Amino acid sequence: MLRRIRKDAGLSGESLATALSVSQSHLSRVELGDTAAGLELVGRWVQECGAGTDDRAAATELAESVTVEFTTWRSAMASGLPAIQREIAAAEAAAATRCAWVPMLIPGLLQTASYTHELITGKYPDREDVAEAVAARMQRQTILYERGKTLRWVIGEAGLRWQVATPDVMAAQLDRLAMLAAEPHLDIRVLPFINTGPVWHDHGFMIRGDRDDGQPDLVNVELLTGPANITEPSEVAEYRRAYERLAELALRGQDAVAFIRQLMVELR
């Protein structure tokens, strides 16, 4: 939304960044959803762009919702890591369609327990509820076999190569991924480095659609300190186009399986 408001005003990213006294890179991260925009910045943004009443109200509401999301995330962290996994499971259950671009890791629903354990302990080495959180994430994976769900992933080659665990754990993880990629009811694709083209791929994201709670489709972006959700229809549509372009470039089916198996041989 903020990018559209800037473009409607005929301002370049550089000129708006100068007017707002922020770096152009910061402004770009805000527009892409990599960095949350606070209410104060959003207020100056819409004023500088001369946004109309409707856009001002919508942008302010969006900034307020992001603030609430981060507050809710902090509250969930206080409740424990398993509680976060249960909240994610509820959100997944409420969406009939799900597609995700995951450039740097194996997606959570496709992880082995050992891989998940290494990830969580790496980020939260002093937590005492890691084992329960791992179990909760594994429980989420029952959705893989539910009828009526459309589940799609594009995983970057870097996500397969990133050594987040011991060689044995990585081998088991890639083996599981290869088996799941062969399942006809799952759309699991792999994007090799050599297949990349002039397509946007800067950060990972997940799109949830056809939600049974009547809420609009949303894009979820995981930031270092918590999640950010995008529901502006025009921006969700941009992410959908980006996903489909990535999916076109990626390997699927037996080609994806063969790529994963070959990588397992290389990493031995």
Backbone angles phi, psi at 152, to 5 degrees: -135, 140
Tens digit of each residue's pLDDT (9 = 90 or more) over 202-222: 899 999 998 876 778 999 988
The whole-angstrom separation of Cα 247 and Cα 245 is 5
pLDDT of residue 127: 86
Single-letter code of the amino acid located at 126: D
Domains of the chain: 1-79 (1.10.260.40), 81-266 (3.30.870)
Tens digit of each residue's pLDDT (9 = 90 or more) over 120-164: 999 888 888 999 999 999 999 999 999 899 999 999 999 999 999
Whether 32 shows a pLDDT value over 80: the answer reads no
Choice between 190 and 29, residue whose per-residue pLDDT is larger: 190
Model pTM above 0.85: no
Q: How confident is the model at residue 244 (pLDDT cuts 50, 70, 90)?
A: very high
β-sheet bridge partners, residue 218: 208
The whole-angstrom separation of Cα 143 and Cα 184 is 15
Number of neighbouring beta carbons within 10 Å of residue 183: 12
pLDDT of residue 68: 46
Q: What does pLDDT average to over the chain? A: 87
